[in-house]
């Protein structure tokens, strides 16, 4: 339930629903934006039937019972993304970009003596972006009426997801293993949208309309992962995993303020309005069921395929300030390959989908929502020297779709609610060391 406090002075009142402008961020509309691990990432994430190294702690903990490399894996990634929204303000295009270094994963596994299984620890960052946007738009005329003579917009979104936990894998037999990982889950978001609009008058006076929205969100929970692998021979293996995030604690705070400032005129007084809303309503996450198969055509050539099903979820609040949103049920898939060029050089490649989780029918007025289906590819090269493996790889994905950007403008002079064309791309490069 939303709790809100309001302060108001002067002659301006801009509806509280305007706070919906940035109620969600683009990466929240996908579940597969960043591939995790080194070998796993280079194979497009098609790793459910393999998972026989530290990356398996996250993908399928049953695989670590058969781990070939066992001590540690370190991955650092440079991530750059861009989303373009067409025809947002009349014929204006918006562009939001992100660029940063993401320490994607740190993990290690240890084989217990006497065949009592394998334990592991890992830190995984499956989502992380710092999005920036600065726009300046001059005279805006709609149906012959001048709405403003200058518009200045600044947008910033710092979005992070961290998972930290322990794992255990046990070989039931030479061909069959089971495993589980239990992660502590943390998600944080700090989002800001500043809007300034100037309207000039014939007598030389002018007015500024100002709107500021700030969102701070912190989510704590637990992410259990259950897995099994059947490996009847050296040729092929089958894998299955089940996971879901359970939110235990949620803190959501939104601050909104708006003002109108008249310059050179005494006829219209300036005014100020502010409001604050808080909620502890917990977001519902989908069950994720992954099935995978891997087949070795030869000792040098391996193929792997994954299919992941995400169940639908419901909005958990029906407030005018939605802190949660519904997601649809859908499938993501991945296909990966590995080729041993020599005893020291290994080449990996993959294809993956990152489909939008968006249920566009579940919308509040002026709510930001995106439906952009992404398709991508990966490529990685590994150098093996004794017990050590050094890998470098890259991933690129892109897609097009529709987006509802939200409420932009002031008073009755607003653009909101209509879907616009959108296109997005994400590129990353990673470097890892494992043993």
Q: How many residues does the chain have?
A: 435
- Residue pair 170/217 in contact (Cβ under 8 Å)? The answer is no
pLDDT of residue 38: 85
- Residue pair 331/307 in contact (Cβ under 8 Å)? The answer is yes
- Global pTM value: 0.87
pLDDT of residue 372: 92
Give the CATH number for residue 26.
2.40.160.60
Cα separation of 60 and 180, whole Å?
8
Residue 318's nearest CA partner among 356, 358, 363 is: 363
Tell the residue number behind the tokens 């037999």, with chain if given: 173
Cα separation of 412 and 148, whole Å?
12
- Residue pair 225/58 in contact (Cβ under 8 Å)? The answer is yes
Parent domain of 138 = 3-434
pLDDT of residue 11: 34
Angle at 335 between CA 169 and CA 160, to 5 degrees: 65
385-416 burial string, b = 16+ CB within 10 Å, else e?
eeeebebebbbebbbebbbbbbbbbbeebbbb
Query: In whole angstroms, how large is the CA radius of gyration of the chain?
Result: 25
SS3 of the chain: the string is CCEEEEEEECCCCCCHHHHHHHCCCHHHHCCCCCCCCCHHHHCCCCCCCCCCCCCHHHHCHHHHHHCCCCCCEEEEEEEEEEEEEEEEECCEEEEEEEEEEEEEEEEEEEECHHHCCEEEEEEEEEEEEEEEEEEEEEEEEECCEEEEEEEEEEEEEEEEEEEEEEEEEEECCCCEEEEEEEEEEEEEEEEEEEEEEEEECCCCCEEEEEEEEEEEEEEEEEEEEEEEEECCCCCEEEEEEEECCEEEEEEEEEEEEEEEEEECCCCCCCEEEEEEEEECCCCCCCCEEEEEEEEEEECCEEEEEEEEEECCECCCCCCCCCCCCCECCEEEEEEEEEEECCCCEEEEEEEEEECCCECCCCCCCCCCEEEEEEEEEEEEEEEEECCEEEEEEEEEEEEEEEEECCCEEECCEEECCCCEEEEEEEEEEEEEEEC
CA distances from 165 to 123, 242, 326 (A): 7, 16, 27
Residue 255's nearest CA partner among 7, 48, 1 is: 7
Angle at 334 between CA 331 and CA 336, to 5 degrees: 165
pLDDT of residue 70: 60
Angle at 278 between CA 274 and CA 282, to 5 degrees: 150
pLDDT of residue 416: 62
Provide the residue-wise pLDDT of the chain in tens; the chain has 435 residues: 444 444 434 333 333 333 333 333 336 788 888 888 889 999 999 999 999 988 899 999 999 998 876 656 667 688 899 999 887 776 678 888 888 888 888 898 999 998 899 999 999 988 888 888 888 877 787 777 888 889 898 989 898 999 999 999 999 999 999 999 999 999 999 989 899 999 898 888 888 999 998 999 999 999 999 999 999 998 999 999 999 999 999 999 989 898 988 887 656 667 888 888 888 889 899 999 999 999 999 999 999 999 999 999 987 766 655 667 788 999 999 999 999 999 999 999 999 999 999 876 665 555 677 889 999 999 999 999 888 889 999 999 999 998 887 778 877 777 766 788 899 999 999 888 887
Phi, psi for residue 312 in degrees, rounded to 5: -75, 150
Measured between its terminal Cα atoms, the distance across the chain in Å is 50
Q: Give the number of domains in the chain.
A: 1
């Amino acid at each position: 339930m939303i709790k809100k406090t309001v302060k108001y002075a002067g002659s301006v009142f801009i509806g509280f629903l305007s706070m919906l402008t940035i109620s969600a961020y683009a990466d929240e509309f996908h579940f597969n934006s960043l591939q995790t691990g080194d070998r796993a990432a280079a194979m497009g994430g098609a790793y459910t039937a393999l998972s026989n190294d530290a990356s398996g702690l996250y993908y399928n903990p049953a695989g670590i019972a058969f781990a070939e490399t066992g001590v540690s894996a370190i991955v650092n990634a440079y991530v750059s993304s861009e989303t373009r929204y067409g025809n947002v303000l009349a014929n204006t295009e918006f562009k939001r970009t992100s660029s940063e270094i993401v320490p994607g994963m740190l993990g290690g596994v240890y084989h217990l003596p006497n065949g009592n299984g394998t334990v592991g620890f890992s830190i995984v960052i499956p989502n992380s972006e710092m999005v920036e946007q600065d726009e300046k738009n001059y005279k805006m005329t709609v149906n012959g009426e001048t709405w403003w003579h200058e518009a200045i917009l600044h947008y910033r979104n710092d979005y992070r997801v961290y998972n930290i936990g322990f794992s255990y894998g046990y070989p039931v037999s030479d061909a069959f293993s089971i495993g589980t990982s239990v992660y502590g889950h943390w998600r944080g978001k700090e989002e800001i949208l500043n809007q300034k609009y100037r309207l000039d008058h014939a007598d030389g006076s002018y007015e500024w309309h100002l709107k500021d929205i700030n969102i701070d969100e912190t989510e704590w929970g637990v992410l259990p992962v259950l897995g099994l692998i059947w490996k009847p021979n050296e040729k092929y293996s089958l894998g299955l995993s089940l996971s879901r995030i359970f939110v235990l604690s949620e803190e959501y705070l939104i601050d909104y303020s708006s003002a109108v400032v008249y310059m050179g005129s005494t006829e219209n007084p300036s005014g100020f309005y502010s409001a604050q809303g808080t909620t502890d309503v917990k977001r519902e996450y989908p069950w994720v069921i992954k099935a995978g198969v891997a087949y070795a055509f030869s000792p040098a050539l391996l193929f792997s395929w994954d299919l992941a099903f995400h169940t639908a979820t419901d909005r958990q609040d029906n407030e005018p300030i939605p802190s949660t949103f519904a997601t649809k049920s859908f499938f993501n898939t991945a296909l990966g390959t590995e080729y041993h060029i020599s005893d020291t050089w290994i080449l990996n490649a993959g294809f993956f989908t990152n489909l939008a989780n968006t249920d566009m029918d579940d919308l509040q007025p002026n709510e930001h929502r995106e439906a952009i289906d992404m398709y991508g590819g990966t490529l990685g090269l590994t150098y093996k020297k004794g017990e050590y493996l050094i890998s470098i790889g890259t991933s690129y994905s892109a897609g097009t779709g529709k987006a509802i950007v939200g409420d932009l403008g002031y008073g009755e002079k607003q653009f909101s609610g209509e879907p616009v064309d959108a296109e997005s791309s994400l590129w990353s490069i990673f470097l890892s060391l494992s043993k």
